[in-house]
A and B are shown apart, each in its own frame.
Chain A
């Protein structure tokens, strides 16, 4: 039993390493994956500043308890990053194997399919975490924002909880892309609809 678990863990790690190798083979694209989120985030921040005339909004304070539009938007965008990870990186994983011509080999390997899915999830989480750290550092250097020390650990706990749900979503999308083929449309439609929600105060 313990031997089997070790084998599964090795397979999960191998899947993660394989994805890193593939991504690092296209260095320009890898660098772009770090800069991309910043470029999509900046218009939201500059738009907010243009509307409010600064970075503090009394109306936002009433709705969300914090008046700082910059911190509010950046935090929302971090969650959107994880959402996109589930929809694009995980959701597209099986379709990509199909393009490479390796899906049959992966499915015929002597490990359950959830091991493959967990390998993809591990890689996606690590890659997305790297993107988030890079994003936070750059945004801190540009705008400067503060976080309460006591809030960091609970926030990470909440993100971890959210990730489990997102892994489920990612696997569902992955299965859908196998059925419908034009998978990008499913990911794009779902991410467009879902991204309207998390960045906003709910009142």
Chain B
């Protein structure tokens, strides 16, 4: 048995599946809410990112995880004034890392979900900024206080949201 698997329970290494309506509807709903709600909270909360992380770690397969991230990110790009692909690339990487991480550590308890999301928000933002500054010639500003606040808010939201989304998992 693989050493990484031996450290986890059967529940932790289980590859979850989702119905097609959930696989398509939840990401679309997340994007819709992100662009529809003009609240201050939505400036720091990134629902499409949370959904990307959730599906990636639940499926625990890197290729579907990164494709999910690429599609969600590309759709999200359509609503911004930036070239399409910035969020797509950032969420592809997050999807890949999330699904890879899901195989190795327990990602089903609230504490690890919070820490995982906290880290992924920073990674997502870092990748986004790197692409924007290096490839597109953007003028993004890295503000630590804002980034940490965003990571904190998204981490807390992930704990609640993932618990709700767990109900959509199909179990054998």
A, B assembled together: no
Which A residues have a C-beta under 8 Å from some C-beta of B?
none
